[in-house]
Amino acid sequence: MVSHKSAVKKHRQDEKRRVRNRQHASRLRTQVKKFRKAVASGDEKAAKELLPETLSLIDKTAKLGVIHGNVASRSKSRATRAVNKLGATTR
């Protein structure tokens, strides 16, 4: 256990950040799962509706520092490509 006053404060701050980061990461994972389920089922309409929400949430999570910016860019690119691929197969 921490014993210095500054260490106690730092521990308290770290715990708050950890809980907040877990909430944001969990929210992101849930949204991505919904999106991937729509893509996997081949439901182009649902995937297109979920895409803006998912991309926005990815951006917000990256801005908060929960995920790295490059991970966010890669995820957004893959999500967009998945939706575009659905559109190409149905035409």
**Alpha carbons 43 and 40: distance in angstroms, whole number:** 8
Distance linking the first and last C-alpha atoms of the chain? 62
Considering only 2-11, 29-38, 73-82, which range has the smallest mean pLDDT?
2-11
Q: What is the pLDDT of residues 20-32, one digit of tens each?
A: 999 999 999 999 9
CB 86 within 8 A of CB 42: yes
Please name which of 56, 64, 70 lies closest in space to residue 25, comparing C-alpha atoms. 64
The domain covering 5-90 belongs, at the CATH homologous superfamily level, to Ribosomal protein S20 (1.20.58.110)
User: What residue ranges do the domains of the chain occupy?
Assistant: 5-90
**Alpha carbons 82 and 54: distance in angstroms, whole number:** 13
Evaluate if residue 2 carries a pLDDT over 80.
no
**Alpha carbons 51 and 47: distance in angstroms, whole number:** 6
